[in-house]
Structure 1
């Protein structure tokens, strides 16, 4: 009787071991979703014109499936872009001489099946609300994203704030602003990598006259 019980235990253990082994092999061989490409700021150009300093750049990023799903359910997504200019100073910390911000709101309109982009000067707060300076509708999500990803001659400083013969550093930040999501939704997405869309550039530059290629 003891021999039979021992044999049954061994058989059960072998069956469990084979099941675990097969499960591990299946997990290793199962196709895995490819990681989203990192957010990247490219083609950065800063120009000095008669009426101010202008920035142009492209921001490359993919919209994860969970973010697109939230958009299709009627949840608006906000992106923030901030630019700060610092003057190089060898004897102390670099002072910030100019600062600019822009908020971009992306939303899907189920009734029309179109996408809407609102571009707001500055940051949105509970008191300021949505002061849109530019509203545009698009037929597809890629078209709407193109308007968000392209920064074209964005004025980030006045001429009086910048000296032509001085050296400066530019800090440019782009991010998805989770604080603008509905409060219950913020709790659910906090810490999720799929909701992290951000990029930063901080580099030395010399401002160039408008129309001259390259600023970095």
Structure 2
């Protein structure tokens, strides 16, 4: 009887180790994490400078390499705190970025607001997707001296713009989830940054 119990214990341990290995080898979900964000005053207004570290995860990378375009949305807001009422939203801006792969040219294409660029590697395309440099997000008159503001910056995968057959996968599978971590910071004119 004890040898039978030992063999069952060994078998259960082997099965659990196998399942654990399969889970570890399965596709991992992606993450979009802000590395930095700041507003710089310019002649035209306030310009956003930011950088995101983007990891799509293996399922999204595979779908992209098979020709499924991915749309990412950059969302930026500025709010002014008010003690007597709800916070006042000063700026709300969204920009869509479309990332696709062309199998014929073997290049990744990144398109936004009428501009389109090609990259040889996915790493280069993701680096440029995550970089915002000098995008004017607010007019100077929108931000008043002496007031404190809160800025929020987020980039996320827009699952609604996936091709219809993939939208169900994106809702049901964790492999298609991309965690979008927001970046919040306080600033006042003259004291800008993270």
Correspondence for 1:148: 129
CA RMSD of aligned residues (A): 2.8
1:173 aligned residue (151, 154, 163): 154
Question: Is 1:163 paired with 2:118?
Answer: no
1:59 equivalent in structure 2: 52
Please give the per-residue CA displacement for 1:107-150, whole angstroms capped at 9, x wherever unaligned: 00011111100013xxxxxxxxxxxx211011111111111011
Partner in structure 2 of residue 68 of structure 1: 61
Residue equivalent to 1:102 = 95
C-alpha contact (below 8 Å) 1:208/1:215 kept by paired residues: no
CA distance in 2, matches of 1:86, 1:96: 4
**Paired residue for 1:215?**
193
> Please, what TM-score do these two structures have when normalized by structure 1?
0.78
Moved more, 164-173 or 62-71: 164-173
Looking at structure 1, the residues matched to 169 and 129 of structure 2 have their Cα atoms a distance apart, in angstroms, of 25
Q: Structure 2 CA distance, aligned partners of 1:48 and 1:104? A: 25
Supply the distance in 2 between the matched residues of 1:183 and 1:36 (Cα, whole angstroms).
20
Would you say the 8 A contact 1:47–1:207 is kept in 2? no
Secondary structure at the aligned position of 1:190 is classed as helix
Structure 1: tracts of 5 or more residues without a match? 1-6, 121-132
Residue equivalent to 2:11: 19
Q: Distance in 2 between matches of 1:29 and 1:75?
A: 29
For the pair 1:195 / 2:176, whether they are aligned, the reply is yes
The aligned counterpart of 2:110 is 117
Is the 8 Å Cα contact of residues 185 and 193 (structure 2) preserved in structure 1?
Answer: no
Q: Which moved more, 1:134-143 or 1:198-207?
A: 198-207
Per the TM alignment, residue 43 of structure 1 is displaced from its structure 2 partner at its CA by 2.1
Number of equivalenced pairs: 192
Residues 187 and 26 (structure 1), Cα distance of their counterparts in 2 relative to 1, 3 Å cut = closer
Q: Which one has a larger percent strand, Structure 1 or Structure 2?
A: 2
Shift of 1:29: 7.0
